[in-house]
Amino acid sequence: MEYTHLMNQPPDSNYSDDAPGNDTYSHYFHIPHAVHQGNETSKKSIYFCGNSLGLMPKTVNKYIEAELTDWANLGVEGHVHGSNPWVSYHEILTPTMSKIVGAKSSEVVVMNGLTVNLHLMLASFYRPTPERFKILIEYNPFPSDRYALESQVRFHGYDPAEAIIELIPKDGSEIVDTETIIETIAEYGDGIALIMMAGVNYYSGQLYPIAEITQLGHAAGCLVGFDLAHAAGNVTLNLHDDGVDFAVWCSYKYLNSGPGNLSGCYVHERHHRDEKLPKLTGWWGHNKAERFKMAPGFVPIPTVESWQLSNPPILAMAAIKASLDIFEEVGMQHLVDKSKKMSAYLFELLEDLDTDKIKIITPTNPEARGCQVSIQMVNKDKTLFNRLAAEGIIADWREPDVIRIAPVPLYNTFAEIQIFVSLIKKYL
């Protein structure tokens, strides 16, 4: 598909792909072909779905093949004599992942799936009492988080209808303002055991004030955790300095590690040596020097690694390393700076459409959003989404009425944003 006829005028100097600081690294990634109504076409897509599944780095094959070669040539000896020894492979992911989430290396580990890690964290940090058993959650959370929290509440013998408090926007919008968060914590604080929210809401794209929520929660005597699935690799995070108790995130959205790949886990260092903290344990969390002595008696590693259960899946971690090496080269701050310019440009173009058929439900404040922009169809009609798909735009439809797009600074361009909005104008 040739899109040049849709570009009425080039972006100004601030929103140009060749402006300083607006580099694209799309050449590091495979750009998929468009698929419409089950049929793959020959044209490459414009891919705005990195908030659901990031693109595949071109180096993934090489990174995985290196481990396959060690497996073939070394067998079990690859654990200690491989080019990247498997017994400590997870440790080579930690430095870059720690930078991405703003934490110390001792506070971050990659392990398990996202909801598995959430349950492990809840086993440690949701400790209800008859006086404090409630959990405060974000408005309209991702379903898996809600299911996990409800099951934990039931496991402890409480009724989710009584134990779970959901933030509700005041004005009927999709956005929860800080005042509502403050008022809710003040109203229920004495009964809240845990505040558990997303960093960025999957539906609206709202970035919550993590530092302020953590401070308010701690002041009310609550523990505070976050699901950063839509935040890690997307926005600036400072988990350690903000004092967050724990956090989890997947690696397959903005971190481009491949479908269903492993999750990141963070626990603030103040909890590492707390012997009273309940914990579900496995042998990979045991003291490294004594792990292979196979002795009884669990001796925890004095870092977040003590929450590990099993030895790491190396082929999955190799795919993560391929992406993290790109992040290390480019730098998270550079990506955030470009992302803010891209979302600002998208907002400007959408506002210029001057139509009552769509509504932007993502915050207009750049500090309250990442790269995702959620476009709500006023009539709940999916026709526009289908027409965009037919033009090669890969976006995401969320029931009942929202098109989610994510101009990812690693591989999307300002020209693609312009094409996208030109197509919306054409079909509206």
Residues 269-294 have pLDDT tens digits of: 999 999 999 999 999 999 999 999 99
Q: What is the pLDDT of residue 36?
A: 63
Residue 373 lies in a domain: yes
Domains in the chain: how many in total? 2
Domain end among 281, 303, 328: 328
Residue 57 lies in a domain: no
Classify burial at 399, counting beta carbons within 10 Å of its beta carbon; exposed 0-12, middle 13-18, buried 19 or more: exposed
Based on the fold, state whether residues 40 and 159 are members of the same structural domain. Answer: no
Based on the fold, state whether residues 419 and 273 are members of the same structural domain. Answer: no
> What confidence tier does 189 reach under pLDDT thresholds 50, 70, 90?
confident
Nearest residue to 44 (alpha-carbon basis) of 419, 357, 404: 419
Based on the fold, state whether residues 92 and 131 are members of the same structural domain. Answer: yes
Residue 35 lies in a domain: yes
Q: What is the pLDDT of residue 40?
A: 62
Domain end among 298, 328, 358: 328
pLDDT at residue 10 is higher than 80: no
d(CA 230, CA 62): 27
Tell me if 94 sits within 8 A of 105, measured CB to CB.
yes
CATH number at residue 403: 3.90.1150.10
Residue 248's domain comprises 64-328
Q: Could you give the percent of the chain with pLDDT greater than 90?
A: 89
> What confidence tier does 2 reach under pLDDT thresholds 50, 70, 90?
low
Nearest residue to 377 (alpha-carbon basis) of 395, 404, 354, 353: 404
Tell me if 121 sits within 8 A of 268, measured CB to CB.
no
* pTM for the structure as a whole: 0.95
Per-chain mean pLDDT for the chain: 94
Residue 31 lies in a domain: yes
Tell me if 210 sits within 8 A of 244, measured CB to CB.
yes
Q: What is the pLDDT of residues 337-381, one digit of tens each?
A: 999 999 999 999 999 998 999 999 999 999 999 999 999 999 889
CATH number at residue 157: 3.40.640.10
Residue 127 lies in a domain: yes
Q: What is the pLDDT of residue 184?
A: 97
Nearest residue to 210 (alpha-carbon basis) of 102, 300, 106, 57: 102
